[in-house]
Amino acid sequence: MSSTPIASKIIPKASRASLDLSKVQYSSDKQERAVAALIEEFTVTPELLKDIKNNFIQSMRKGLQKDGETVAMISSYVMGRLDGTEVGSYLALDVGGTNLRVVSVHLNGAGHIATRQTKYRIDEKLKVGDAKALFDFMAVCVDSFLDEHQIVVRGDTQIELGFTFSFPVLQTSINRGTLISWTKGFNAAGMVGKDPVAFLQDAFNRRHLPVRVAALVNDTVGTLLAHAYNHPETCMGVILGTGCNGAYIEKISNIKKWKGDVSSDEMIINMEFGAFDKERQILPLTMFDNKMDRKSVNPNKQIFEKMIAGMYLGEIARNILLNLIDRRLIFEGNVSADLNQMWTFETAYMSSIEADSSPTLHTTRKILESTLSFPATTLNDRQIVKIVVELVGKRAARLSAAALAGILEHTGSWKQKSAIGIDGSLFEYYPSFDTDIMDGLEEVFGLEVRKNVSLGLAQDGSGVGAALCALLAAKNTASTDKAAPSS
């Protein structure tokens, strides 16, 4: 069992080792002009950052007015706040990939959490078989977990469970929703248009498990809650990893499309902001972005996400390098068979290149020659590659800053002590991504934002966050029951 203030765990990472551009020995005037053009194209100026922020706020407000807008602004049905004093034991079930995960979360108060977890591999046949069999397997895993960890429930009580179901779902209450479609290789029959919570609860009931599905959870909402338990001033949860998204606490009076319960003043909104600016009105898209988008599995969708998220940055950088190679400006116009393949220039390589501070750019050389099979590279080649990588990575961070600034301005949170919990490999590992974001926020709000707003790594929104969502759901149910008149 681990006991740690999990929401504030800090992972050390390398900082960017920027090149001094004045010391780059360009191979030709043509190469120098090409690099200058890329710098101009990929630099998000303070003015552009503010324009994007203003456009982002307008998109937020449209999404709060009515359904079907570009930034969806989905009501999470999660109301109330955490203050870190909550205690108790909850379960989380995290389903959405190769494995499913069962997590026991014990809240000790003072922001401290103890967790136990077990992963179970989902057989490929279950993914495409009968839906009932898939949910029965989930129940078997939860049953096995309770036995394994000797978790005993006394009397008629039940354990509250938060269910992170990472597929497109139209949520209709805190623990109800309908599956829109399967993704990620799942295609279990008889499930689309049905409620995954009802299927799971039925499977629990048939096995006589003392478990109640209290909440259907989005992982971004969970990220906010996971951070809030250790930092009660948390106003926002953000995913900056393979994909990107955000959730924040909104006043219900601002959610004009909301027709439900108004007993609480606030609700967490799952923004789905990766779809921002699908109209292509404000984002500084380049031909390298457009090429990547056309070849992606979802062309013309998630445009903002494709300029920020780790899944796409390496491919944007690869497109730039191929363009420079075709113009005979690097590698003497020669391309390796590896770099010629889509998605081979990984964002993880970019992280290593950004952190490379050696005079000869030894790490960059190793990636190009050993990993990507270039027979030989010059220092000039490696310097140009490093410049390209920094341009793409820094632009991603500054675009992220524009979104965060939009949320902070819309809510006014930047004017007071506020915390932003961020999960995802990009934020956790990419050199200087966090400092680039904070620099962007300072350009919008001034130095005061550094005193008031903190960025922190919030881990396990789909586990710890789901359990905390179950806690809030149970608390709201109890208060509703208490308020209801007796017959």
The residues annotated with a catalytic role in the active site are: 101, 166, 219
Residues 6+ apart with CB under 8 A from 202: 135
Packing angle of the helix pair 379-411, 433-445 (nearest 10 deg): 50
Q: How far is CA 454 from CA 404, 436, 437, in A?
A: 12, 13, 11
Q: Which amino acid is at 277?
A: D
397 near 270, Cβ under 8 Å? Answer: no
Strands 418-423 and 176-179: unpaired
**What is the bridge-based pairing of β-strands 2-4 and 244-251?**
unpaired
Around Cβ 148, how many Cβ atoms within 10 Å? 12
- Determine the 3-state secondary structure of 37 from DSSP: helix
The answer to whether 345 and 336 are in contact (CB under 8 A) is: no
- Report the distance separating Cα 149 and Cα 117, nearest Å: 9
What is the DSSP code string of 140-182?
HHHHHHHHHTT----TT--EEEEEEE-S-EEEEETTEEEE---
Let me know: does 345 contact 315? Beta carbons within 8 Å: yes
At which residue do the structure tokens 């994909």 appear? 243
Distance CA 119, CA 141 (A): 9
Tokens of 392: 């793409």
Write out the two tokens for 200.
Answer: 């799971």
Burial of 322 (0-12, 13-18, 19+ CB in 10 A): middle
Is 112 within 8 Å of 155 (Cβ atoms)?
no
Residue 241 has what DSSP assignment?
Answer: S
